[in-house]
Chain A
Amino acid sequence: MRLVTHNMMRSNVKDVSEDEGYPLIIEASEVKSEECEFNADVIRRLVPKMDYKALRDAAEKVDPESALPDELPDDVVDEALLRKLHHVLLEIHVVEGDLVCPKTGRRFQITNGIPNMLLHEDEL
């Protein structure tokens, strides 16, 4: 699971609103980094669609050395910063761990990079 995906995800626990259930807390036990081709335009277009605070907090948790700035300019043009964002959004993978609902503490396991967000029958 990349952080770009985590940024789109919310808790689906019953009676938890979108605001209450976002962002999911990441508790990673295995993280890997895999290079992929950098495209500045893609990152520039992607970044405004992200919740930056959630991204920054998640990055700090799974890749403490990522060192993203506290705030972003409205339009990111600096290549060094774009490359940092590219790395954090697309190259870091949470392979094993849990996503945790911030309201209820309900844990969802991530196995082989895939979060299992299925609720049990008694939770529906």
Chain B
Amino acid sequence: MLSAACALLGASRVIGVDVDADALAVASRNLDQVDHVDLVRADVSSLPLRDNSFDTCVMNPPFGTRRKGIDVDFLRAALRLSTTAVYSLHKSSTRDYLLSRAVSLGAAGGARLVAQLRFDVPKLYDFHTRPEVDIDVDLLRFDVDASCHAAPARPLPDATPRRRGARAGGRRGRRTG
């Protein structure tokens, strides 16, 4: 869906990356009516993409509940691929940590909070123990270049409308170009 959104909002070329074949099959059907998007099946730990090939990366990485640190792995990879910005969704509880580590991960211009959301996550996987749970989620923007430095984070009004977070906690991510 993120790939479709990027294309519909005017990205001239978009590459959607996911490790899961079923997710890609669904994406492929959804993208039938959308131009400019290609899909690639790959794992974040061995991305088959050249560094600095994209202006922007937009992603919803796993939250790191199950595989600790995977959210940071996604950020590092996305920042290598992008020349301008990475927009990424993360648990609000990790906000301070990620903002403080932004530069060391590859965002020379730092990072800031763009929006706060709330995901209703139904039980999607075997490791989920509750039938449903609310998660506070941040949309963060990481600036790759020091010259487009991020403005300091400012408090935002409490969250936007609830959203069915089918992707929260999954292994998925999207890349755009």
Q: Name the residue on B nearest A18 (C-beta).
A: B50
* B49 A115 Cβ-Cβ under 8 A: no
How far apart are B47's CB and chain A's nearest CB, in angstroms? Answer: 6
A1-32 at interface with B (beta carbon < 8 Å): 1-2, 4-5, 8-12, 14, 18, 22, 24
Chain B residue with the shortest CB-CB distance to A123: B46
Of A2, A24, A116, the contact of B41 (CB 8 Å cutoff): A116
21 contacts between A and B (CB under 8 A): A1-B40, A2-B13, A5-B13, A8-B50, A10-B48, A11-B48, A12-B46, A22-B50, A36-B35, A36-B36, A39-B12, A90-B36, A114-B24, A114-B41, A115-B40, A115-B41, A117-B40, A117-B48, A118-B41, A119-B43, A124-B45
CA gap between A5 and B47 in the complex, in Å = 13
Report whether B50 and A9 are in contact in the complex, using a CB–CB cutoff of 8 Å: yes
Q: How far is the CB of A123 from chain B (nearest CB, A)?
A: 9
Number of interface residues of B (CB under 8 A): 24
A117/B42 contact (C-beta < 8 A), A8-B49, A36-B35 known: yes
Chain A positions 92 through 124: 1 when the CB is less than 8 Å from some CB of chain B, otherwise 0: 000000000000000010001111111100001
Taking the nearest CB of chain B, how far is it from the CB of A42, in angstroms?
5
Selected contact of B40 from candidates A37, A45, A49, A114, CB within 8 Å? A114
Interchain pairs with CB closer than 8 A, number: 72
- B-side residues, CB < 8 A to A, are 12-13, 15, 19, 24, 28, 35-36, 38-43, 45-51, 53-54, 177
B43 partner residues in chain A, CB cutoff 8 A: 118-119
A9/B48 in contact, CB under 8 A: yes
A118 to B48, CA, bound (A): 9
Name the 6 nearest CB pairs between A and B, nearest first: A5-B38, A12-B48, A117-B42, A117-B48, A12-B46, A8-B53
A46 contacts chain B at the CB level, 8 A cutoff? yes
Q: Majority SS of interface residues in chain B?
A: loop
What's the minimum C-beta distance from B16 to chain A, rounded to whole angstroms? 9
Q: Separation in Å of the B12 CB from the closest CB of chain A? A: 5
CB distance from B83 to the nearest CB of A (A): 10
Q: Choose one: A42, A113, A116, A119; the contact of B12 (CB below 8 Å).
A: A42
Where chain A touches its partner, the secondary structure class is loop
Point out the residues of chain B lying under 8 angstroms from A8, CB to CB: 15, 49-50, 53-54, 177
